[in-house]
Amino acid sequence: MIKKINTKTIKLIKFYNLINYNLVYNNKAINRYKKDTFEISGDKAEKLEKLKKSISDIKNCELKKSATNIVFADGNPKSKIMLIGEGPGSNEDQEGLPFVGRAGALLDKMLASINLDRKNVYLTNVVNYRPPENRRPTEEEITKYLPYLKKHIEIINPKILVLLGSSALNALIGNEIVISKARGKWMEKEFGKCKTSVIATFHPAFLMRQPAQKKMAWVDLKMIREKKSKLKI
């Protein structure tokens, strides 16, 4: 006798199919779509340009010595949804854009599962230069870049802030917090003049190593979708 599959199970199966990454990858950066330009206010555009220059002018930074490009941001600066990852990898370093490697491909599929893409979100990282050999940024490096990250958040002024992985969570919320316990919960935070709803979820690179956690990521994504609908953004 065949058991009837409930709606929740069907949705979960569709999500797994959508973000399945068992594909053949190469080391070439992914060109996902034609780059869109966004008209933003002169004030915001000017602030972002000044912030980028301030980051490029940082002195005594070991990350800059081995990096090829600054990786500042991607997506729509007018968006009310901002995502923050850990730091650039080798593909990101070459392209000068965040999330263009394998993890970025998975992130795009995760966003698509809740009807989002890079044209209606904004992406950046905790640090803006690639750590050597794709290692995690050190606490000292995060501390150096944290004031710039907080200013970045204030300029974008998102209504929803998504922290991808433990580095982003620990940098902005606290070192004592473990992402497996913090994920899936909304937190109300202020960064300068920006008041925003914050949620943490697993980094796409982690999900590639631990695919069993995709079901938890799907729970988080649904929460983001529901919050977006509630806030009408």
Distance CA 184, CA 221 (A): 9
Strand pairing category for 81-85 and 160-164: parallel
Residue 49, in any domain of the structure: no
Residue 22, in any domain of the structure: no
Residue 21, in any domain of the structure: no
What single-letter amino acid sits at 9?
T
Residue 36, in any domain of the structure: no
Residue 8, in any domain of the structure: no
Tokens of 127: 């640090």
Are 139 and 89 contacting, i.e. CB atoms less than 8 angstroms apart?
no
Q: What are the pLDDT digits (tens) for 84-128?
A: 999 999 999 999 999 999 999 999 999 999 999 999 999 999 999
Give DSSP secondary structure letters for 145-172: HHHHHHHHHHHH--SEEEEESHHHHHHH
pLDDT value for 176 = 82
- The mean predicted confidence, pLDDT, of the chain is 88
CATH number of 223's domain? 3.40.470.10
Exposed e or buried b per residue across 70-101, where buried means at least 16 C-beta atoms within 10 angstroms of its C-beta: bbbbbbbbebbbbbbbbbbbebbbbbebbbbb
pLDDT beyond 90 at 6: no
Q: How confident is the model at residue 228 (pLDDT cuts 50, 70, 90)?
A: very high
pLDDT beyond 90 at 7: no
Residue 101, in any domain of the structure: yes
Residues in Cβ contact with 31 at an 8 Å cutoff, skipping those fewer than 6 apart = none
Residue 4, in any domain of the structure: no
What value, to the nearest 5°, has the Cα angle with vertex 49 and ends 45 and 53?
Answer: 170
Q: What are the pLDDT digits (tens) for 140-196?
A: 999 999 999 999 999 999 999 999 999 999 999 998 889 999 999 999 999 999 999
Are 200 and 100 contacting, i.e. CB atoms less than 8 angstroms apart?
no
Q: In whole angstroms, how far apart are CA 86 and each of 99, 129, 174, 204?
A: 10, 10, 15, 11
| Alpha helix segments (H runs only) across the chain | 7-19, 42-56, 62-66, 90-95, 102-112, 139-156, 166-172, 179-182, 204-209, 214-231
Angle between helical axes of 7-19 and 102-112 (0-180°, round to 10) = 150
Domain count, the chain: 1
Residue 25, in any domain of the structure: no
Residue 93 structural domain: 60-231
Q: What are the pLDDT digits (tens) for 33-90?
A: 344 444 555 699 999 999 999 999 999 999 999 999 999 999 999 999 999 999 999 9
What single-letter amino acid sits at 17?
N
